[in-house]
Amino acid sequence: MRTSKLAAVLCAAVLAVLILSASIAAPILVRPFYYLQIDALELPRQTGWSRETIREAYDQVLDFCVLGKPFGTGQLRWSEEGRSHFQDVQGLFRLDFALAGGSALGLAALLLVRRRRGLAFYRFLGRGPGFWAGSLAAAAVAVVGVLAALDFERAFVVFHALFFPGKDNWIFDPAADQIILVMPEVFFRNCALLIGGVLALCCAALVLWDLRRRPAGREAVPR
């Protein structure tokens, strides 16, 4: 069986994008993750709004960002400036979903080509694409995680400066955009922790799968 270095590199890259984008999508798509925090963060007590009012506001914002429904925040006040920020967020969410879907299709295409052409992925230093995808993704996120842990507030500001360049509409006035009162900074920190946890599990699964896998034979004739 012929081996392919190019296919191995592509597979590792596609896998890394897939697990990263899927991990980012986790707190976006799993709404119960937010619902659990309504009481955990004591949002009804801190804001004076009922649990149902808070949930309705969050759901309407997510419906706009994910499903493209008309913007709203339930019974809470919002401004055009706040809406414009969530319009930007909608674009980032859709980009992440596109990366997740595209990388999944790319991986499926690579595996199909590999099977039809009778190829094997070249194992750099004896390790396959899954090992390198998991290791490199974990290393990159570990660096970001350490920096965020040292100063999450600073990391939060840097994140917005990178992904919303030249804009300051992400700095909400609680009187005009009350949604920020039910989406405090600690909620976004917990989202980052969920993303990191899901990604760590994916990386560990890929690395362990590769370590336990026994190659069918020695790689020869790399392409």
Question: For 196-221, how does the pLDDT look when each residue is reduced to its tens digit (9 = 90+)?
Answer: 999 999 999 999 999 887 654 444 44
DSSP-derived secondary structure for 169-193: TTS--TTT-GGGGGS-HHHHHHHHH
Provide the token pair at 156: 């939060």
Nearest CA-CA partner of 168 in 82, 57, 97, 67? 82
Long-range contacts, 162-165 (Cβ 8 Å, 24+) = 163/92, 164/85, 164/88
Provide the token pair at 109: 């295409």
Question: For 156-185, how does the pLDDT look when each residue is reduced to its tens digit (9 = 90+)?
Answer: 888 888 888 888 889 899 999 999 999 999
Question: For 28-54, how does the pLDDT look when each residue is reduced to its tens digit (9 = 90+)?
Answer: 999 999 999 999 999 999 999 999 999
